[in-house]
């Protein structure tokens, strides 16, 4: 059974949020990549990727995460992942990509950490 994929974006004071849910694979990665291409973080912001609804992610999905990181780096912004599923955290660690992303248990944790760092506390 395929879980319907959804990608949504929203702007917040700390920067854009990309929410991915369902199955991120070769069939759905193009939709996610299109959303990534439309993101416009600034140098003073954080691009946050909310993975709380992600049920599956293959190598195509990991490429989407790397593309999002590239968007953030090109803009001089930070990037963070929130609610990374255990299987994906293990995979990122095994392939040596875990250090590319700051991770938080929830989007709220990521927002609080960003607010603290942005205020210089």
Is 15 within the bounds of a domain?
yes
Bridge pairing between strands 15-24 and 6-12? antiparallel
Rounded to an integer, what distance in angstroms lies between the CA atom of residue 101 and that of residue 11?
Answer: 20
CATH number at residue 105: 3.30.750.24
Rounded to an integer, what distance in angstroms lies between the CA atom of residue 67 and that of residue 115?
Answer: 25
Domain region containing 41? 6-110
How does residue 52 score in pLDDT terms, banded at 50, 70 and 90? very high
Is 118 within the bounds of a domain?
no
How does residue 18 score in pLDDT terms, banded at 50, 70 and 90? very high
Count how many domains the chain has.
1
Q: pLDDT (tens digit, 9 = 90+) per residue, 61-108?
A: 999 999 999 999 999 999 999 999 999 999 999 999 999 999 999 999
How does residue 2 score in pLDDT terms, banded at 50, 70 and 90? low
Is 119 within the bounds of a domain?
no
| Overall residue count recorded for the chain in this entry | 121
Is 38 within the bounds of a domain?
yes
Rounded to an integer, what distance in angstroms lies between the CA atom of residue 44 and that of residue 53?
Answer: 27
pTM: 0.92
Is 116 within the bounds of a domain?
no
């Amino acid at each position: 059974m395929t879980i319907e994929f959804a990608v949504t974006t929203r702007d917040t004071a700390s920067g854009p949020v990309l929410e991915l849910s369902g199955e991120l694979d070769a069939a759905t990665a193009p939709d996610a990549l299109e959303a990534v291409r439309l993101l416009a973080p600034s140098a003073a912001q954080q691009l946050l990727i909310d993975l709380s609804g992600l049920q599956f992610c293959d190598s195509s999905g990991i490429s989407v995460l790397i593309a999002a990181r590239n968007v953030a780096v090109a803009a001089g912004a930070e990037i963070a992942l929130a609610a990374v599923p255990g299987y994906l955290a293990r995979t990122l660690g095994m392939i040596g990509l875990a250090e590319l992303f700051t991770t938080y248990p929830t989007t709220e944790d990521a927002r609080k950490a960003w607010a603290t760092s942005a205020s210089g506390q």
